[in-house]
DNA sequence: CTGTTAGCGCTTTCAC
DNA sequence: GTGAAAGCGCTAACAG
């Protein structure tokens, strides 16, 4: 186990002061080029590595961005993270990532950890059951930038990056109605979450526009799991009057529902036309391919990270920019029409 | 912007020494319960947050684990990460995650960053074109534990967590041969990587066992992308003697290949029986469902993190445990037999 | 059970 | 263009 090399060691070896070494290593303009070269090459030779903690402690800055997501293992989330990591990495930031597993309790704990880790900023997509935002006030109090994406909270108080979920919900539903479907069922998630509430809004708006009365029994709030998909399919087969359209706000759930419906002998899209959400890889692969809403996950991640970093570098004020809305898009495939 | 509260502020306010405050906050056994309560509640009241950097600087430990993966947006990787995050979080560790995007250059840069961030340990799955392991010697020199998973390197020198890829490759191939297929094509990745090299080994072994001569032209080294799937399908349709079996070491690629084959009028599994790899969500959804090898991603992540943490806590020596092999499993579905 | 003291490695102000 | 010196906030050895 080698001894750690510090700027003092380099300084001593070269008969410079630690201050000069520090400056040289940080490419400070006031240092002669020769000196810089000398010092950097000696640093390399001696196997020096900068101590981020000492530096952070001193500079009160971490070059680290915290990310809290509901869960890591979803195709949507991983696209978002891939986008974030790319942008952050290029800008010299590290990402600390944690998952709330859809529980506020864990979300709170994670938030605390992030806070203690003194992340320069925080990117959050909230859990299923997050009610208030008290656990984030520590950040706002300290002026640490906080940016919500996808599952956002408190429309006005925080900057958020979203798609137009109402519009997406409207388009999905209107698409089914345009095809002549009149009994469109809607499977969605916890309505506390903007994404689901807004999509429901869009659903209702489309119905209204086509003069179809809203029927509460056709809307189901679930956890959008694959199991739910199976269950919903079972329910549908048992219904006296079956829906002829189905709008599920999650592709995996939609797919498992569709598959189960097919197994019970129903035909997709003839008996039930289906629209999903997210444009998950499975949506292209299922048969018939699933009509869905493309959700620009990677872009969302990139823009979220970029906005935060710009803000940190004083190039932009995310507090001023209240909401960034990305374009989603209806992708029509076989599950809704032949 | 509030002023940062330190243990000194708490100490002054309560007429204790900073040391006592520190101990109380860290739940040191030698502190009276009353004092602890008093101090912790005062800390809460004053809005104290521990400064991880000062603490890390002092303790020479970070409670942070670095993770480097080829890419974030794959279903396999996100399962692994989900497992790691869970275990790490429960043990009080943070995860710094970065992606090499399959490039050694970026992998090296990431490794350096992790090193400077003084992660307590590093979990790595190497990039497509990583040749040597020089960029990790900094870690081994300093005695920082290094653990490879999935795409591992240098069988002996480093601890690694893998599945038995040769066995998996063997099972996939033998399954096809057992069904009477005699011309089994194998689409795989860069043979520098253990995962692909070993699967090829298994493939060859199965052929040998069934007395079928190995035909080089039936093996293709690709990047296993979805585009490759399409291209391979096109090639197959053009071949004078078509393969009757296809073993692709990646589900997404297998699925796109399968789908393209179907489009050109070939029947799966009748004309070509297909086996994939990973048990990606798409494999269950495609029609016919894809026979594949289940890869225990989540478990791999959990075990990798757990082993590293146990090692850090002195509960285990991962240098002694050279290789941990997890069970993979052939999952037979419609794409290989009716 | 609690306090004193020193120092982790770095940056930065002030001085020359 | 470079140096001296202080201090970021915390912990651990030692002392009592």
Indicate if the pLDDT at residue B58 is higher than 80: yes
Query: Is strand D less than 7 A from the beta carbon of B63?
Result: no
Kindly report, residue by residue over A56-106, the tens digit of the pLDDT. Answer: 888 887 888 999 999 998 999 999 999 999 999 888 888 889 999 999 999
Residues contacting B103, CB < 8 A, separation 6+: B127, B128, B129
pLDDT at B288 over 60: yes
- Structural domain boundaries in chain B: 7-50, 63-163+297-326, 165-295
| pLDDT tops 60 at residue B270 | yes
Helix (H) or strand (E) holding A161: strand A159-163
Asked if B156 reaches chain A (Cβ–Cβ under 8 Å), the answer is no
Considering the domain delimited by B165-295, tell me its CATH architecture. 3-Layer(aba) Sandwich (3.40)
Rounded CA-CA distance B338/B335 in Å is 8
Q: Find the nucleotide nearest B55 (Cα to C1′).
A: D10
Cβ of residue A86 closer than 8 Å to a chain B Cβ: yes
- Asked if the Cβ–Cβ distance from A54 to B52 is below 8 Å, we say no
B83 min Cα distance to partner chain A (Å): 9
Distance between CA atoms of A335 and A268, rounded to whole angstroms? 6
Cβ <8 Å between B96 and A98: no
Contacts of B26 in chain A (CB under 8 A): none
Whether residue A62 and residue B50 make contact (CB cut-off 8 A), yes or no, is: no
Task: Report residue B331 as tokens.
Answer: 């999952």
Q: Are B7-50 and B165-295 the same fold in CATH?
A: no
Q: What is the CA radius of gyration of chain A?
A: 26
Please give the helix or strand (H or E) that residue B275 lies within, else none. Answer: strand B273-275
Chain A contacts in chain B segment 244-303 (CB below 8 A):
252, 255, 259, 280-282, 285-287, 298
Give the pLDDT confidence of A163-180 residue by residue, as tens digits. Answer: 999 999 999 999 999 999
pLDDT tens for A232-262 read: 999 999 999 999 999 999 999 999 999 999 9
Q: How far is the CA of A17 from the C1' of D5 (A)?
A: 12
Mutation pick from B256, B281, B292, B302 vs chain A, by most beta carbons of A within 10 Å, is: B281
CB contact under 8 A, B142 and A1: yes
A89 touches chain B (CB under 8 A): yes
Residues 6+ apart with CB under 8 A from B235: none
CA dist B68 to A84, A287, B126, B154, Å? 15, 36, 8, 17
Strand order in the sheet with B184-188: B219-221, B184-188, B245-248, B273-275
What pLDDT band is residue B3 in, cutting at 50, 70 and 90?
low
The mean predicted confidence, pLDDT, of chain B is 91
Residue–nucleotide distance: B55 CA to C8 C1' (Å): 9
pLDDT tens column, B117-141: 888 899 999 999 998 888 888 888 7
Question: In sequence order, what are the beta bridge partners of A248?
Answer: A187
From residue B106, alpha-carbon distances to A39, B99, B139, B154 in Å are 25, 8, 17, 20
CATH number for the domain formed by residue range(s) A7-50: 1.10.260.40
Domain spanning A63-163+297-326: CATH superfamily: Response regulator (3.40.50.2300)
Strands A121-124 and A146-149: parallel
pTM, to two decimals: 0.86
What value does the mean pLDDT of chain A take?
91
A65: tokens are: 């961005």
Q: Strand C: which nucleotides have any atom within 7 A of a protein Cβ?
A: 1-13
pLDDT tens, position by position, A189-208: 999 999 999 999 999 999 99
Contacts of B86 in chain A (CB under 8 A): 99, 101
């Amino acid at each position: 186990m080698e001894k750690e090399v510090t700027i003092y060691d380099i300084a001593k070896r070269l008969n410079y002061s630690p201050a000069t070494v520090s400056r040289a290593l940080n490419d400070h303009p006031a240092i002669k080029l020769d000196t810089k070269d000398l010092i950097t090459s000696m640093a390399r030779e001696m196997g020096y590595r900068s101590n981020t903690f000492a530096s952070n402690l001193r500079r009160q800055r971490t070059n680290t961005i915290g990310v809290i997501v509901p869960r890591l293992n979803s195709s949507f989330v991983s696209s978002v993270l891939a986008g974030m990591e790319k942008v952050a990495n290029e800008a010299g930031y590290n990402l600390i990532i944690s998952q709330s597993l859809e529980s506020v309790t864990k979300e709170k704990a994670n938030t605390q950890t992030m806070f203690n880790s003194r992340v320069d900023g925080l990117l959050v997509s909230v859990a299923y059951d997050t009610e208030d935002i008290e656990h984030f006030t520590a950040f706002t109090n300290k002026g640490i930038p906080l940016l919500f994406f996808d599952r956002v909270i408190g429309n006005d108080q925080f900057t958020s990056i979203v798609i137009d979920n109402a519009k997406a919900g409207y388009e999905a539903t209107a698409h089914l109605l345009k095809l002549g479907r009149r009994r469109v069922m809607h499977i969605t998630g916890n309505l506390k979450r903007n994404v689901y509430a807004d999509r429901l809004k869009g659903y209702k708006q489309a119905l209204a526009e086509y003069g179809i009365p809203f029927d509460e029994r056709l809307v189901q709030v679930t956890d959008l799991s694959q199991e739910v998909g199976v269950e919903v399919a079972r329910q549908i087969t048992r219904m006296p009057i079956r829906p002829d359209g189905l709008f599920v706000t999650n592709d995996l759930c939609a797919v498992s529902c569709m598959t189960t419906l097919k197994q019970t002998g129903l035909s997709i899209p003839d008996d039930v036309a289906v629209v999903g959400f997210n444009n998950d890889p499975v949506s292209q692969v299922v048969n018939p391919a699933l009509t869905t809403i493309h959700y620009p996950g990677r872009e969302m991640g990139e823009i979220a990270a970029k906005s935060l970093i710009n803000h940190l570098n004083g190039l932009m004020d995310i507090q001023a920019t209240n909401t960034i809305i990305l374009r989603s898009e209806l992708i029509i495939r076989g599950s809704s029409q032949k």
